[in-house]
Amino acid sequence: MRILGIDCGSERTGFGVIESDGRSHRLIAADTIVTSPKKPLSERLLAIATGLRAAINLHHPEMAAIEGVFHAVNTQTAIKLAHVRGVAMLMIAEAHLPVGEYSPMEVKTSVVGYGRAEKEQVQLMVQTILRLPAVIKSQDASDALAVAICHATRAGYAERVKATR
């Protein structure tokens, strides 16, 4: 299965695509859509939508995964993040992809084994799991790959359980 993972941010939205059988994962692509905080939010959302649509059209994922909403101290930041998540969910729905949503703690627990892991720990585990020669430089792209790996692991486990019944 080919999975698109998305790590939403109003300035940096990471995405990653992996190929997985639920146990073994392989990197297809990883990148970050960078927008300028000087631009109006509407233009930034359009750039994110355009970038995600292009990634979906180029890599043809069969499913998607996205980080769920978490509590933010700054209300304005939380609102901007909600807008970006809405755009990401729209691009996923437009492509008719089934989607999984995971909290940051679920993703970190799935990938690192510890729900409060630091970003650097996530980067190192993504490198290890995908058998890459070096860490993915962009933490946003690495986080998106972690979301995809989390979904692959959970979807693969669910399929194995279903097959035994």
Active site residue 21: no
CATH of the domain at 133: 3.30.420.10
- The radius of gyration computed from the CA coordinates of the chain, to the nearest angstrom, equals 15
Active site residue 7: yes
Exposed, middle or buried: residue 42 (CB in 10 Å: 0-12, 13-18, 19+)? Answer: exposed
Task: Provide the domain limits for residue 88.
Answer: 2-164
Report how far residue 92's alpha carbon sits from residue 96's, in angstroms, rounded to the nearest whole number: 6
Interacting residues of 2 by C-beta distance below 8 A, sequence separation 6+: 17, 18, 19, 20, 28, 59, 60, 61, 62, 63
Query: pLDDT 10s digit of each residue in the chain, 165 long?
Result: 999 999 999 999 999 999 999 899 999 999 999 999 999 999 999 999 999 999 999 999 999 999 987 666 788 888 999 999 999 999 999 999 999 999 999 999 999 999 999 999 999 999 999 999 999 999 999 999 999 999 999 886 556 556 666
Active site residue 67: yes
Count how many domains the chain has.
Answer: 1
